[in-house]
Amino acid sequence: EAQVTQNPRYLITVTGKKLTVTCSQNMNHEYMSWYRQDPGLGLRQIYYSMNVEVTDKGDVPEGYKVSRKEKRNFPLILESPSPNQTSLYFCASSLRPPRRGTSTDTQYFGPGTRLTVL
Amino acid sequence: DAKTTQPNSMESNEEEPVHLPCNHSTISGTDYIHWYRQLPSQGPEYVIHGLTSNVNNRMASLAIAEDRKSSTLILHRATLRDAAVYYCILSRGSGNTGKLIFGQGTTLQVKP
């Protein structure tokens, strides 16, 4: 089954303790992206990746890191989490970057990771 | 960056058509218009997209104004399962950013 998976689905941690949220897709997609969702703010893009070893900042990259060593995986790293990073996080992927404007840029979203930083 | 404006919420009766508006007055000529929806406790899912012409698929129709400064997502017969937050999104057709710009979304309530 074609899907985007995220782990963990739920995580409670403390300020400053490094964590990684994994994202994996099995559709051989080039483009992957991370979003956070907060009440009243909708979804905001954190980082995106056009292909392996190609990443760039979205709208709210501060406090986050990403890597794209393999096509299928795009982990989100919080080196020193803070309470303002408490949020619902979504990973997404598409066959091609959205700029192409064809059906190949339809984005598939993961189920979400709810993170709480105390 | 071009942004979108949507009403915060709308209501519809079951089995009636729903027209969800989106304003994108600063859209550029190469921005595509995408609609996604987010059902409760789920990630967003793709609904439809277009550039200039109206588009139809099995889920919905997309009507794009001639000047492209607004668009309307049309659900022809709303069901209870269509209750969700609907996002109107612009994506770039040129350039190298790949950035998606989400609007605030419209929460659609469907009444039985």
Of A31, A48, A110, the CB nearest to B43: A110
Residues 42-101 of A with CB under 8 A from B: 42-45, 48, 50, 56, 58-59, 90, 92, 97-101
Q: What is the pLDDT of residue A73?
A: 98
Beta strand pairing call for A65-66 and A76-78: antiparallel
Helices (H), B2-109: none
Mean pLDDT of B9-16: 96
Specify whether the backbone of A41 is left (phi greater than 0), alpha (psi in -120 to 50) or beta: alpha
Of A59, A98, A112, the CB nearest to B43: A112
Q: What is the pLDDT of residue B74?
A: 97
Asked if B37 contacts B81 with a C-beta cutoff of 8 angstroms, the reply is: no
B-chain CB neighbours of A111 within 8 Å are: 42-43
Query: For the purposes of burial, counting CB atoms within 10 Å of the CB of A19, is it exposed (0-12), middle (13-18) or buried (19 or more)?
Result: middle
Mean pLDDT of A15-43: 93
Task: State what percent of residues in chain B have pLDDT above 70.
Answer: 88
Residue B56 corresponds to which tokens in the numbers above?
Answer: 């139809």
Sheet with B18-23, side-by-side order of all strands: B18-23, B70-75, B61-64, B55-56
Span A46-98, pLDDT tens digits:
999 999 999 999 889 999 999 999 999 999 999 999 999 999 999 999 888 76
Span B65-83, pLDDT tens digits:
999 999 999 999 999 999 9
Asked whether residue B94 carries a pLDDT value surpassing 80, the answer given is no
Asked if A70 contacts A26 with a C-beta cutoff of 8 angstroms, the reply is: no
Q: Which amino acid is at A101?
A: G
Q: Do A111 and B42 touch (CB under 8 A)?
A: yes
